[in-house]
Amino acid sequence: MIDNNISAMCKPAPGEAGKTGDWRDMRPVIDHTKCTPYVKNKPACFLCWLYCPEGVIRDTIPVEIDLDYCKGCGICAEECPMGAIAMVAEGKQDG
């Protein structure tokens, strides 16, 4: 029986590095009325999904961001050609 702790390793899994959503100062908020896939109802653009370094954006219609793990880096907002994503300060109130 081989010790599964014989050497250091881990399997890629959501949350392997903890609940990284806690780390955020700023939160991405999508205005779907400006987002290309939503407006055209076509699987198009998805640049936010492509650029997200954490892999927490889903290429669905509408696009979804998993805020449990989003670190709030703001790259999606920076890259969105339609300006549909706004970075909003984390605070007591939503938005």
List of residues contacting another protein (CB under 8 A): 2-16
Task: Closer to another protein by CB, 1 or 92: give it.
Answer: 1
User: How deeply is 12 buried, as exposed, middle or buried, from its count of CB atoms within 10 A (0-12, 13-18, 19+)?
Assistant: exposed
From the CB of 30, what's the least distance to another protein, in Å?
27
From the CB of 56, what's the least distance to another protein, in Å?
15
**CA–CA separation, 22 vs 35, rounded Å?**
26
| CA nearest to 20, candidates 50, 48, 56 | 56
From the CB of 68, what's the least distance to another protein, in Å?
12
Task: Closer to another protein by CB, 3 or 94: give it.
Answer: 3
Task: Closer to another protein by CB, 16 or 94: give it.
Answer: 16
Sign of CA dihedral 18, 47, 40, 60: negative
